[in-house]
Amino acid sequence: MNKIDVLNTLEKNLLNNFQHDMSLSTMPYADIARDLGVGEDKIISTLTELQNRGYISRIGPVFTANRIGVSTLAAMAIPDDELECVARIISTFPEVNHNYEREHHYNLWFVVTACSEEHLDIVLHEIEQHAEHPLMSLPMLEDYFIDLGFKLPWA
Amino acid sequence: MGIMQANQLVAQLSVDDRKLVKLIEHGIPVTRRPYAEIAQQLGITEQMVVARIQALIHSTAIKRYGVVVRHHELGYKANGMVVWNIPDESVSEIGKCIGEYNCVTLSYRRPRRLPDWPYNLFTMVHGQNREAVIAQVNHIVQRCNLSHIEHTILFSMRRFKQRGAKYTRMEHATDHTASPLSENLKSIKQRAHV
């Protein structure tokens, strides 16, 4: 059975209805509680539980790429027997997030984010040195996606 | 956003805004007054914290603000990065068309790296399993008239790291050369050369 089938209505509403335009006030969970007709304590305990179960990664901002920092998508083609080790080396860099193995000749894909172009170049160079493989850097040129969150299928 | 300009458009955030970004980039706490501690650290009121987040949203530095869910944990086990080789003059129109589907969570133009990498449009497609992703991609190919366009799906296998982007400056003092991981890599390579 799919995990989302066992969620109750409150959990589904919390996951789906507040992905964008969440109330910006000093007590946002009280606002959500009023909106859903549930007590604030219940909202806080349910959100905490959803975070603990890993369904919610965080509550807060999603930044527009390249507006407050610079980032790039990097790809590497790594021999199978080295992949796990190289991936772990790369993951130790605090500038790296979303580090995935993908099914392709280019089998390791990760995003590198930094506060400036100069810092980004330094980090990319360091990664190549420590991983001992070249990387292909594919910075975003244009964004065609308007992010309104991810509509889950029960809505 | 103009082509080739994206990386130059780094907003000149004030020092105060950078401090704020650092305090909220991994999410706000789930407590009655989530901005209380942030306000205290910045030496301003909670109302001022909220107003400054609002300003970052208005200036579009923040794209959306709210609950960020994890697809994989919610049953969307399959994730395909679908890459397309689209004539330059059509990439914007097609990128917007693909970006409108609910199963799609990213639609970015990126540079080709010829001859190794011919693809210039990157879209992320989520589904409950591999077949669902393939079916969605086929549906998109039909609806956006892409049957003549070369594409390939890079399914995600292992996830080594996932978390929101960290934008604030880091003290980057880790010496990777001396780490056990680098030693592991050396020994793997030595074995391969025997």
Domain-located, residue B16: yes
Q: What is the 3-state secondary structure (H, E, C) of A57-104?
A: EEEEEEECCCCCCEEEEEEECCCHHHHHHHHHHHHCCCCEEEEEEECC
Query: What's the distance, CA A113 to chain centroid?
Result: 12
B130-160 confidence digits (pLDDT tens): 999 999 999 999 999 999 999 999 999 998 9
Domain-located, residue B124: yes
pLDDT at B192: 62
Give me the residue from B98, B105, B166 closest to A94, CB to CB. B166
Q: How many separate domains does chain B show?
A: 2
Domain-located, residue B147: yes
- DSSP 8-state code for residue A148: -
Q: What is the CATH number of the domain that holds B141?
A: 3.30.70.3460
- Asked if pLDDT for residue B19 goes beyond 50, the answer is yes
Counting beta carbons within 10 angstroms of the beta carbon of residue B48, is it exposed (0 to 12), middle (13 to 18) or buried (19 or more)? middle
Cα of A36 to nearest chain B Cα, Å: 15
Mutation for testing the B interface, residue in A126, A127, A144, A154 having most B CBs under 10 Å:
A144
Asked casually if ipTM beats, i.e. exceeds, 0.90, the reply is no
Domain boundaries, position B141 = 78-155
Residue with tokens 């996830």: B159
Q: Which residues in chain A (19-78) have CB-CB distances under 8 A to chain B?
A: 19-22, 24-30, 40, 44, 47-48, 51, 53-71, 73, 75
Domain-located, residue B165: no
Residue with tokens 């509403």: A13
pLDDT at A145: 84
- Asked if pLDDT for residue B6 goes beyond 50, the answer is no
Contact B159 A21 (CB under 8 A): no
Domain co-membership, B34 together with B83:
no
CA–CA separation, B122 vs B128, rounded Å? 20
B68-120 confidence digits (pLDDT tens): 999 888 888 899 999 999 999 999 999 999 999 988 989 999 999 999 999 99
Contact A145 B106 (CB under 8 A): yes
Mean pLDDT of chain B: 85
Cα of B41 to nearest chain A Cα, Å: 15
Query: A111 — phi, psi (to 5°)?
Result: -100, 135
A23-70 confidence digits (pLDDT tens): 999 999 999 999 999 999 999 999 999 999 999 999 999 988 777 778
